[in-house]
Amino acid sequence: MTQRTPSADQLSVLVERALAEAGAVGATAADVGVSVDTGLSVTVRLGEVETLEHHRNRGMGITAYVGQRKGSASTGDLSWAAIADTVRKAVSIARFTAEDPYAGLPDAATLATSIPDLALSHPWDIDAERAIELARACEAAALAVDPRITNSEGASISAHSAERVYGNTQGFIAGYPSTYASVSCVVMGQQGEQQERDYWYSAARDPQMLEAAAAIGRRAAERTVARLGARRIATVRVPVLYVPELARGLLGHFLGAIRGGAQYRRSSFLLDAAGETIFPSFFSVSERPHLQGALGSAPFDAEGCRTKDRELVQAGTVDGYILDTYSARKLGLSTTGNAGGVHNLIVHSGAEDYAGLLRRMGRGLVVTELMGQGVNGVTGDYSRGATGFWVEGGEIAYPVNEVTIAGNLRQMYRDLVAVGSDVDVRGAVQTGSILVAEMTVAGDGSVV
């Protein structure tokens, strides 16, 4: 028999019962998270439906503590018999684990006491037929841009809704609904023997905020055509401009280095960085978890701790770390409400747009795609394969491929020149393009 999707109230009742059961079978503390996700995904390639998927996932995770011993178990079956069995397994596991003096629920004082409505749920009333129609329109717009667009990896439409509830034996229980919608397109182009591919996408909580499907297709094709005729260059040291979607990753290495886990394991190139000036004085980063409708917004973190505005970097100086309860205790600090990740990190941008940053660069490389995983989180050494565009006289001269960009993240962060006003809001980190004063760009061709 097909199970009906539980309501938020029903999920809350399941959490309460699971917590009570944990206590009854010997847990001294416990927390429970339950989620139900539903969605539709469609991919069209060359006008034909390639995939059509309806999703309905449900699950519950239970962590039980017996003193300072911890055990976890999960189930995808939300019947009470399955939940009760999972609770017993979590408690049983806890009895056999080693004691950890830092284990345990968050301190009650850190838990969220009010749950603001952040407008995170905007269900998309779209059926499979309409989704297919939009995907076809997206791809058709891409294929019509230029005769050099010769193939497609497809256009996709995705619509997801989720209901999540979390509770613990500190008396906390709360939940909220959320949605996610996206449109994307990937196409390939050919010029002579050379083939290139590129993409574009739009994502939002509210489908009304998505870019038009045809516009996404055209942008994907224009980006692909722009890469045709790519050249190789000689090894040089020049300024490098990261476009916004890659600048987010550049900042991501910093976030990884100041996470509590990297700090207490002593495995970060930014050890004990709180209070240290890492960036130029113009560079600041804020966390704003309660922005209405933003992709990174959350009223509380994965442990039920309140999320709040904070300044992560002020005038180039690191103000603190990214901590959940466990890592905070290991470091002798307090949680920052970041169990599960960061919430709307905003890199403060300057007045210059993308064109302005090109003019400031003068001569150098714009990076639009990175390959490989050549980043050492302990030393900060950085080396990635890259493609992009060569800049001369403050303007794009021609596309470039098969190069490697290299440096050390500490030096790169000190050498930041500017953050552009072309902010990308499609994620939990919002930033414009980032210009680095100088990096090694390695190739074995010659600049024309």
Q: Give percent above pLDDT 70 in the chain.
A: 98
Given a cut of 70, the residues of the chain with pLDDT beneath it are 1-5, 445-448
Per-residue model confidence as pLDDT tens digits over 91-120: 999 999 999 999 999 999 999 999 999 999
> Which residues neighbour 135 within 8 Å (Cβ) at sequence distance 6 or greater?
42, 43, 44, 154, 155, 156, 157, 183, 213
Burial environment of residue 281 by CB neighbours within 10 A (0 to 12, 13 to 18, 19 or more): exposed
CA distance 105 to 425: 33
Q: What is the pLDDT of residue 443?
A: 83
CA distance 140 to 145: 9
Q: What is the pLDDT of residue 446?
A: 55
> b/e per residue, 347-362, with b = 16+ CB within 10 A?
bbbbebeeebbbebbe
CA distance 268 to 291: 30
Sign of the Cα pseudo-torsion (434, 436, 442, 446, in order): positive
Per-residue model confidence as pLDDT tens digits over 48-100: 999 999 999 999 999 999 999 999 999 999 999 999 999 999 999 999 999 99
List C-alpha distances in Å: 411 to 252, 279, 388, 407. 16, 9, 22, 7
From the CB of residue 311, how many other CB atoms can be counted at a distance below 10 Å? 14
Helices (H), 122-243: 128-143, 213-227
CATH of 8-225, one of 3.30.1180.20, 3.40.50.1370, 3.40.50.720, 3.30.2290.10: 3.30.2290.10
Q: What is the pLDDT of residue 5?
A: 64
pTM: 0.93
Delimiting residues of CATH 3.30.2290.10 domain(s) in the chain: 8-225
**Residue found under tokens 């987010």:** 248
Whether 40 and 132 have beta carbons less than 8 Å apart is answered as no
